[in-house]
């Protein structure tokens, strides 16, 4: 009898667990669904909020967003920003990570300490003003480069940290073997290390792309008076004050969906990597 | 020069070359702005007229006359506390649940983690629509199911901070859950076996084995989340812009406004000197809290 | 050897990608508005002139006329850009980075632009004909003229009225639009009680933009009643006079009479709701005539009207509201390379015919005397109501807070918002404002950055 009760209790607990998890996941997903489904509704439908599924599916919202609101430009800018940040990130951080992990040089301790400190101290957005002034002097303010480089520098510490930790786990014998063969440091880096740290490079790449795709404040400041250079995030939020803003929530939702769906798709295929990357940092940290 | 020295130089030369981009970026985008800010702390500067040296004047003003700033500091703590108190236990609970042999674990994990990869600014916009008191879906659902009888003012004086915290929790739970999951997975199976053999039930295992073992991970998660919560302002910026009459104004948003003050058509005179002072004090507060936490948690671990 | 080739190959690919991105990032002509194109470059045929405005309400009209001008002047190509959000910051950033447009809309008083070195004086373009057309609106000191130099010219003026939904008033059985603030409160209360279940509320304000509400609603109500937060006679600030106005709105908010969510409400969403018949009253300017028209931004089927802003404690207030933007319109930026050509377009914008058409289509009221004489009022709802009347509207003198005043802490508009929302105590907040603004005025006067305006026999009731 007691066994029976215990058994029922166990099943009960399992059911509760699943219900809780499923319920929670629904809560998490709801805003996404609201945005995506809403983007296919007519504005009246969105405001009325009957059911989450549109009563009739309207695709014009996307066409209008694309044409009227320059979403092609915004998307292009976001892609450029994302790719540039990722590539430069991979280059810079892997080289630096390698040097920190494997090589001794004067100033290494200073560099390590500085990187650690910048990871924690954050003056935040205040740095935007002096950087803006500097960019004007260097005549770089007409492009997205300042934004790319700012995003890069902000996260550089973390990536170098991750990469150097990872490289630490690669046995030094490989290095030594290569050195004996007469290889210069750069070659060791390029031919020995890089292939072995592909996993962490994948993580850094994904994180960089995400950071660039999702950036808002930096891009906002630098593209305020250059609407053609705005990435999706800035474009979507600026819609709020646009012509149709008040009256056309459905188009704004289309814009928002536009900016989240690509990264979501990437996520679907790479979520293991994202999560693995975070776990790396967590456990080894 | 001997061959060995030549080779050493050559080796180090390429090393320096490899580290160069990183160093340049550091100097230009981190050190230089920091110095700029530190310099103007002792001046008043409005970007038009040459700066005027005023010694500690900015700090005096900040500590004696600026009530709005300290209100924003208070708001930041409320925001951080509210976010942490719910997020950390919740994400831990989720991690434990997912680790307890649930099927479709990967699916759940992927879904709960989704919010962290999305742009906070864009999703805050969506939440702005959802919580809109007149047309928002949240109020409509609540009204229709008769849970409330008149629309709740989610962005009003009382509730704006609550709404901001809700959005923050939504975005953060997945992140911390992953950290906890990773930590949980380092606990070897044998631990569970031994405990079961000793006759411990699940709750006892949880409290006496798992939680203590999670100590280091917990410490790191808390530290990260404190820093992130103290610095976070993008979502608030889009959601409420600092809230009705400063109800959701947080430190870093206040700092941002000192440097980019604008109200659409009206541009109030910028005060970079004062803004720099505010920034420095804010960074000091953040750093201080972090150090305090580290000291406290280190003591507990040891 | 093969490995070397691979390395080099990859390096080249990466470099190409980077170069491609670099070129993609740098200025490109795409689309029909191109802020990156160097203003005023002499291309083979057309000289480009770039114009910035922050007004969306009259965009359609201005676009039409711009196209007409371009067609009539094949050697010129005028481009227009609209920045409603953050216009001031955007302009400031553009000037700082040397990308200012040729012409831009002048919203603040001249000293603001002089301090930042943004405008060119227009004196060399002034003709006798122009002076005659403008009469005594030609040079208004501190508004468009400083030290005898002219920086912009008058064009239109924005009058402010209380806008109300006649259908709602009828349905509730109210005798008519309110004449005093007490009536306004009372009527709003009745409307909300009557219409709450249908989502209809008596009063709304766009409190998300505190400056908009502070200037258009609070300040104008004060002026209509003959006083202002700056005491022109004695030359100092006194914000406690604003208490009666703020108390009314505070009470409305506290008692839930106001439209829900005003703290996050912007003017366009407000207009949308008004057009949908959900709002009883609000105070705003004469843009609404064109906006609620059939081909406007928010066409409405409601019967609406506009009356003068209510009095405080009297049905016949004797003050006059300010005509906003009067005396300011367009300016030529100091960095423009084609000021003469830019002036040609400004001349076009200020032609009597252009201005008359602007008014006749309901976009606003023209103040330029020569144009106002020939312009008729359109047969659109609101046009008559918003028309400038000597008894209701005047151009107030410039007060220091719009002429370079620096002060500490929250500005007046944010404080008003805080008061309305019940976040601070009225008397304490107003007293604090007064002392801070006066401190700033004294300091500014001492180092010569601000002029203390004193008009000993100032009387806004005349």
Q: Domains plus CATH for chain C?
A: 39-153+327-383 (3.40.190.10), 160-323+398-447 (3.40.190.10)
C-alpha span between C434 and C425 (Å, rounded) = 14
Q: What is the pLDDT of residues C37-77, one digit of tens each?
A: 333 344 456 889 999 998 888 888 999 999 999 999 888 99
CB contact A84 to B (< 8 Å): no
Cβ atoms within 10 Å of B209's Cβ, excluding its own: 16
Q: Domains plus CATH for chain B?
A: 3-40 (no CATH), 70-301 (1.10.3720.10)
Residue B5 has a pLDDT of 64
Q: What distance in Å separates residue A45's CA from the closest CA in chain C?
A: 15
Tell me whether residues B110 and A271 touch, CB distance under 8 A: yes
Q: Which helix (H) or strand (E) holds C454?
A: none
Q: What is the pLDDT of residues B161-215, one digit of tens each?
A: 999 999 999 999 988 888 888 888 777 777 778 777 777 777 777 777 777 777 7
Worst-scoring range by mean pLDDT, A94-98, B190-194, C98-102, C367-371?
B190-194
Residue C427 has a pLDDT of 94
CB-CB contact of C181 with C244 (8 Å): yes
Q: What is the pLDDT of residues B77-93, one digit of tens each?
A: 999 999 999 999 999 88
Which residues from B are below 8 Å from A240, CB to CB?
Answer: 125, 128
pLDDT over 70, % of chain C: 90
Q: What distance in Å separates residue A70's CA from the closest CA in chain B?
A: 17
Residue C41 has a pLDDT of 41
Worst-scoring range by mean pLDDT, A180-184, B2-6, B142-146, B153-157?
B2-6
C-alpha span between C285 and C266 (Å, rounded) = 15
Q: Which residues contact C49 (CB under 8 A, 6 or more apart)?
A: C39, C40, C76, C77, C78, C79, C102, C103, C338, C341, C342, C345
CB contact C406 to B (< 8 Å): yes
Inter-CA distances, C300 with C191, C265, C450, Å: 19, 19, 45
Q: Average of pLDDT values for B227-237?
A: 85
Residue C38 has a pLDDT of 35
Q: Which residue in B65, B241, B245 is closest to C423 by CB distance?
A: B245
Residues 294-313 in C contacting A (C-alpha not used; CB under 8 Å): 297-298
Residue A84 has a pLDDT of 93
Residue C221 has a pLDDT of 94
Nearest to B91 by CA among B75, B113, B73: B113
User: Dihedrals φ, ψ of C425, to 5°?
Assistant: -75, 135
Q: Which helix (H) or strand (E) holds A11?
A: helix A2-38
Question: Which of the residues C20, C35, C96, C97 would you substitute to probe the A interface, choosing the one with the greatest number of A C-beta atoms within 10 Å?
Answer: C97
Given a cut of 90, is residue C242 above it in pLDDT? yes
Q: Which helix (H) or strand (E) holds C234?
A: none
Residue B269 has a pLDDT of 66
Residue C6 has a pLDDT of 45
b/e per residue B107-139 (b: at least 16 CB within 10 A): ebbbbbbbbbbbbbbbbbbbbbbbbbbbbbbbb
Q: Average of pLDDT values for B270-274?
A: 80
Residue A138 has a pLDDT of 83
C-alpha span between C358 and C25 (Å, rounded) = 39
Residues pairing with C50 in the sheet: C79
Q: What is the pLDDT of residues C5-42, one digit of tens each?
A: 444 445 445 554 554 454 444 433 333 333 333 333 44
Cβ atoms within 10 Å of B27's Cβ, excluding its own: 13
Banded model confidence at residue B263, pLDDT cuts 50, 70, 90? low
Residue of B nearest to A43 (CA): B135
Residue B105 has a pLDDT of 83
Nearest to C439 by CA among C450, C429, C428: C450
pLDDT over 70, % of chain B: 92
Q: Average of pLDDT values for C182-208?
A: 92
Nearest to C206 by CA among C280, C246, C165, C261: C261
User: Tell me, what's the ipTM?
Assistant: 0.82
Question: Which of the residues B3, B8, B15, B184 would you substitute to probe the A interface, choosing the one with the greatest number of A C-beta atoms within 10 Å?
Answer: B15
Inter-CA distances, C8 with A184, A195, C1, C69, C181, Å: 16, 17, 11, 55, 79
Residue of C nearest to B153 (CA): C261
Question: Which of the residues A125, A134, A260 would you substitute to probe the B interface, choosing the one with the greatest number of B C-beta atoms within 10 Å?
Answer: A125
Pairing of strands C236-237, B43-44: unpaired
Residue C428 has a pLDDT of 94
Tell me whether residues B126 and A92 touch, CB distance under 8 A: no
- For residue B23 the two structure tokens come to 């160093």
DSSP C38: P
DSSP, collapsed to helix, strand or coil, labels residue A46 as helix
Low-confidence ranges of chain A (pLDDT < 50): 285
Q: Alpha helix (H) ranges present in C87-163?
A: 87-96, 110-115, 128-134
Residue C26 has a pLDDT of 42
Q: What HEC string does C194-215 produce?
A: HHHHHCCEEECCCCCCHHHHHH
Q: Which residue in A91, A149, A279 is closest to B29 by CB distance?
A: A149
Q: Number of CB pairs < 8 Å for A and B?
A: 246
Residue C8 has a pLDDT of 46
Radius of gyration, alpha carbons of chain A:
24
Given a cut of 80, is residue C186 above it in pLDDT? yes
Residue A242 has a pLDDT of 59
Residue of B nearest to A282 (CA): B179
Residue of B nearest to C106 (CA): B265
Which residues from B are below 8 Å from A214, CB to CB?
Answer: 117-122
Q: Which residue in A142, A221, A228 is closest to C31 by CB distance?
A: A228
C-alpha span between B72 and B247 (Å, rounded) = 8
Worst-scoring range by mean pLDDT, A218-222, C99-103, C177-181, C188-192?
A218-222
Q: Average of pLDDT values for B241-264?
A: 79
Q: Alpha helix (H) ranges present in chain B?
A: 3-26, 32-40, 57-60, 67-99, 105-113, 120-130, 137-144, 160-185, 189-197, 202-205, 211-213, 215-231, 234-239, 251-259, 272-301
C448 backbone φψ class: left, alpha, beta (φ>0; ψ -120 to 50): left
CB-CB contact of C134 with C145 (8 Å): no
DSSP C144: T
CB contact A156 to B (< 8 Å): yes
Could you tell me how far CA B94 lies from the centroid of its own chain? 21
Given a cut of 90, is residue B58 above it in pLDDT? no
Pairing of strands C103-105, C330-332: antiparallel
Residue B1 has a pLDDT of 56
Q: What distance in Å separates residue C16's CA from the closest CA in chain A?
A: 12
Tell me whether residues A228 and C35 touch, CB distance under 8 A: yes
Tell me whether residues A73 and C85 touch, CB distance under 8 A: no
Q: What distance in Å separates residue B231's CA from the closest CA in chain C?
A: 22
Q: Which residue in A105, A213, A264 is closest to B12 by CB distance?
A: A105
B6 backbone φψ class: left, alpha, beta (φ>0; ψ -120 to 50): alpha
Residues B250, C269, A247, C166, Cα dihedral to 10°: 170
Residue C33 has a pLDDT of 35
10 Å CB burial of residue C342 (0-12, 13-18, 19+) is: buried
Cβ atoms within 10 Å of A215's Cβ, excluding its own: 26
- For residue A261 the two structure tokens come to 């769906």
Q: Which residue in B48, B157, B265 is closest to C88 by CB distance?
A: B265
Q: What distance in Å separates residue A193's CA from the closest CA in chain B?
A: 14
Q: What is the pLDDT of residues C111-160, one digit of tens each?
A: 888 888 899 999 999 999 999 999 888 888 888 888 889 999 999 889 99
Q: Which residues contact A147 (CB under 8 A, 6 or more apart)?
A: A81, A215, A218, A219, A222, A223, A231
């Amino acid at each position: 009898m007691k066994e029976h009760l215990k058994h029922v209790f166990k099943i009960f607990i399992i059911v509760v667990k699943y219900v809780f998890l499923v319920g929670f996941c629904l809560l998490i997903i709801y805003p996404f669904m609201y945005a995506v489904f809403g983007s296919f509704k007519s504005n009246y439908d969105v405001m009325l909020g009957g059911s989450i599924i549109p009563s009739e599916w309207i695709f014009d919202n996307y066409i209008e967003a694309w044409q009227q609101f320059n979403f092609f430009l915004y998307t292009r800018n976001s892609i450029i920003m994302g790719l540039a940040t990722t590539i430069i990130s991979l280059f810079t951080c892997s080289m630096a990570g390698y040097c920190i992990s494997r090589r001794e040089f004067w100033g290494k301790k200073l560099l390590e300490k500085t990187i650690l400190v910048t990871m924690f101290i954050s003056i935040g957005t205040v740095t935007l003003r002096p950087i803006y002034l500097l960019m004007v002097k260097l005549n770089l303010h007409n492009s997205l480069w300042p934004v790319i480089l700012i995003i890069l520098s902000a996260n550089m510490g973390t990536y170098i940290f991750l990469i150097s930790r990872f490289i630490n786990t690669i046995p030094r014998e490989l290095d030594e073997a290569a050195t004996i063969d007469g290889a210069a440091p750069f070659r060791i880096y390029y031919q020995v290390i890089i292939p072995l740290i592909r996993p962490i490079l994948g993580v850094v790449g994904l994180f960089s792309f995400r950071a660039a795709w999702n950036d808002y404040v930096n891009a906002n400041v630098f593209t305020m008076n250059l609407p053609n250079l705005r990435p999706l995030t800035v474009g979507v939020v600026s819609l709020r004050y646009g012509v149709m803003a008040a009256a056309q929530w459905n188009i704004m939702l289309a814009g928002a969906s536009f900016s989240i769906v690509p990264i979501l798709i990437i996520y679907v295929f790479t979520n293991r990597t994202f999560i693995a990357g975070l776990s790396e940092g967590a456990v080894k940290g | 020069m001997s061959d060995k020295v030549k080779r050493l130089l050559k080796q180090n030369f390429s090393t320096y070359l490899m580290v160069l981009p990183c160093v340049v970026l550091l100097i230009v985008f981190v050190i230089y702005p920091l110095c700029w800010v530190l310099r103007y702390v002792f001046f008043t500067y409005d970007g038009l007229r040459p700066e005027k040296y005023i010694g500690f004047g900015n700090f005096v003003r900040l500590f004696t006359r600026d009530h709005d700033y300290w209100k924003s500091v208070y708001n930041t703590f409320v925001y951080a506390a509210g976010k942490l108190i719910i997020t950390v236990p919740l994400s831990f609970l989720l991690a434990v649940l997912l680790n307890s042999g649930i099927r479709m674990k990967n699916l759940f994990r992927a879904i709960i983690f989704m919010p962290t990869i999305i742009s906070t600014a864009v999703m805050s916009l969506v939440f702005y629509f959802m919580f809109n008191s007149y047309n928002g879906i949240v109020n409509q659902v609540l009204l229709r199911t008769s849970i409330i009888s008149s629309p709740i003012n989610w962005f009003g004086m009382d509730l704006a901070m609550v709404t901001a915290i809700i959005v923050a929790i939504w975005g953060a739970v997945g992140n911390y859950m992953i950290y906890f999951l990773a930590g949980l997975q380092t606990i070897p199976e044998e631990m569970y076996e031994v405990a079961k053999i000793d006759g411990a039930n699940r709750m006892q295992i949880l409290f006496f084995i798992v939680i203590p073992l999670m100590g280091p991970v917990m410490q790191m998660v808390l530290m990260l989340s404190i820093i992130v919560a103290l610095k976070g302002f993008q979502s608030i910026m889009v959601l409420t812009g600092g809230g009705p009459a400063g109800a959701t104004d947080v430190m870093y948003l206040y700092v941002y406004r000192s440097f980019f003050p604008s109200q659409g058509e009206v541009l109030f005179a910028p005060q970079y000197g004062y803004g720099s002072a505010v920034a420095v004090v804010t960074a000091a507060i953040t750093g201080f809290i972090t150090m305090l936490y580290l000291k406290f948690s280190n003591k507990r671990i040891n | 050897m093969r490995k070397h080739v691979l390395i080099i190959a990859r390096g080249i690919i990466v470099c190409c990608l980077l170069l491609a991105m670099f070129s993609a990032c740098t200025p490109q002509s795409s689309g029909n508005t191109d802020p990156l194109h160097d203003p005023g470059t002499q291309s083979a045929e057309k000289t480009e002139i770039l114009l910035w405005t922050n007004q969306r309400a009259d965009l359609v009209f201005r676009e039409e006329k711009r196209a007409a001008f371009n067609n009539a002047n094949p050697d010129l190509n005028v481009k227009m850009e609209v920045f409603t959000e953050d216009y001031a910051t955007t302009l400031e950033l553009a000037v700082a980075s040397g990308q200012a447009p040729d012409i831009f809309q002048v919203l603040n008083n001249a000293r603001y632009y002089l301090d930042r070195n943004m405008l060119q004086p227009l004196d060399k373009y002034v003709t006798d004909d122009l002076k005659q057309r403008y009469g005594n609106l030609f040079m208004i000191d501190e508004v468009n003229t400083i030290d005898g130099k002219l920086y912009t010219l008058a064009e239109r003026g924005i009058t402010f009225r209380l806008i109300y939904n006649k259908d709602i008033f009828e349905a509730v059985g109210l005798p008519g639009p309110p004449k005093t603030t007490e009536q306004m409160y009372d009527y709003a209360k009745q409307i909300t009680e009557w219409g709450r279940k249908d989502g209809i509320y008596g009063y709304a304000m766009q409190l998300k933009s505190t400056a908009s509400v502070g200037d258009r609603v609070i300040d104008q109500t004060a002026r209509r009643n003959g006083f202002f937060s700056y005491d022109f006679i004695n030359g100092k600030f006194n914000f406690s006079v604003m208490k009666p106005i703020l108390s009314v709105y505070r009470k409305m908010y506290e008692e839930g009479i106001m439209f829900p969510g005003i703290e996050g409400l912007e003017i366009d969403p407000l207009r949308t709701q008004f057009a949908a018949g959900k709002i009883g009253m609000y105070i705003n300017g004469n843009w609404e005539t064109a906006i609620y028209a059939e081909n406007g931004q928010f066409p409405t089927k409601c019967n609406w009207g506009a009356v003068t802003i209510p009095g405080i404690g009297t049905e016949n207030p004797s003050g006059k509201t300010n005509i906003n933007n009067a005396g300011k319109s367009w300016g030529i930026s100091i960095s423009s390379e084609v000021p003469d050509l830019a002036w040609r377009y400004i001349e076009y914008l200020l032609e009597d015919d252009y201005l008359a058409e602007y008014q006749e289509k309901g976009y606003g009221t023209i103040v330029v005397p020569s144009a106002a004489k020939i312009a008729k009022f359109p047969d659109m709802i609101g046009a008559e109501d918003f028309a400038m009347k000597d008894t209701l509207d005047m151009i107030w003198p410039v007060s220091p807070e719009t002429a370079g005043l620096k002060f500490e802490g929250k500005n007046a508009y944010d404080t008003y918002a805080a008061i309305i929302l019940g976040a601070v105590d009225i008397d304490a907040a107003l007293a604090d404002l007064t002392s801070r603004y006066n401190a700033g005025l004294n300091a500014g006067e001492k180092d010569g950055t601000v002029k203390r305006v004193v008009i000993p026999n100032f009387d806004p009731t005349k």
